[in-house]
Amino acid sequence: MSGLTVALMAGGKSSRMGQNKAFVLLQGRPLIEHILARIAQVPGVDETILITNSAEQFAHLNLPAYPDLIPNKGALGGVLTALHHSRTDAVLVVACDMPFISPALLRHMNTLRAEPSGPYDVIAPRVGDLPQGTLAIYSKACMPVIREQIDAGRLKLFGFYDRVKVRYVDEAETRQVDPQGLSFMNINTPDELDAANHLTADNPG
């Protein structure tokens, strides 16, 4: 199985938080540090890169940082940028506001790339009927389709999934490796941050 790039999406405006979400403190540590610690538990990662238009804010992390290829195209534009710059064909996209992602889930998703029914263009968890596109693996084969979507002004992140080969990881499968189901918990507001701090205090492990 070929290598894997992890792309941290840190290009959001964080308007509801009032400050850069990547650096708000959860149990005394910035969110992005929680995420990096979890990614470090996934074997076979060739590189970790940042997709951000504020590279100077992340210089202390010593990670390659790339601005959007096409400005103001949201998460879909971020995925295109990550695929363009990655050294590997497969890119695990991770939003910078998901501090509880399960390393076991990420490892499981990576192993799915070797399934006999593959190769897949996208491997995406799904909660209910909603794909979790900011915690998904994309291949470079998606790039032309994503570019077409952007050029047409269709910016929904999973709006192109019906045009590529997708392996969904549904809730029953996810729960086998993430029993608490916390991987998809986003921290977007001060209230959500407060709830997350209480959660980690109650579940220190």
CATH (domain of 92): 3.90.550.10
Q: What is the 3-state secondary structure (H, E, C) of the chain?
A: CCCEEEEEECCCCCCCCCCCHHHCEECCEEHHHHHHHHHCCCCCEEEEEEECCCHHHHHHHCCCEECCCCCCCHHHHHHHHHHHHCCCCEEEEEECCCCCCCHHHHHHHHHHHHCCCCCCCEEEEEECCEECCCEEEEEHHHHHHHHHHHHCCCCCCCCCHHHCCEEEECHHHHHHHCCCCCCCCCCCCHHHHHHHHHHHHHCCC
Chain mean position to CA 38: 12
Contact between 144 and 77 (Cβ < 8 Å): no
The answer, as to whether pTM is greater than 0.75, is yes
* Structural domain total, the chain: 1
Task: Look at residue 12 and tell me whether its pLDDT is greater than 50.
Answer: yes
97 or 201: which carries more pLDDT confidence? 97
Digit-coded pLDDT (tens) for 88-120: 999 999 998 889 999 999 999 999 999 999 899
How confident is residue 193, by pLDDT bands cut at 50, 70 and 90?
A: confident
Tell me, what's the pLDDT at 146?
Answer: 98
Tell me, what's the pLDDT at 187?
Answer: 81
Q: Which domain holds residue 64?
A: 4-202
Mean pLDDT across 109-132: 95
Winning range, highest mean pLDDT, from 52-56, 165-169, 190-194: 165-169
Digit-coded pLDDT (tens) for 17-29: 556 778 888 888 8
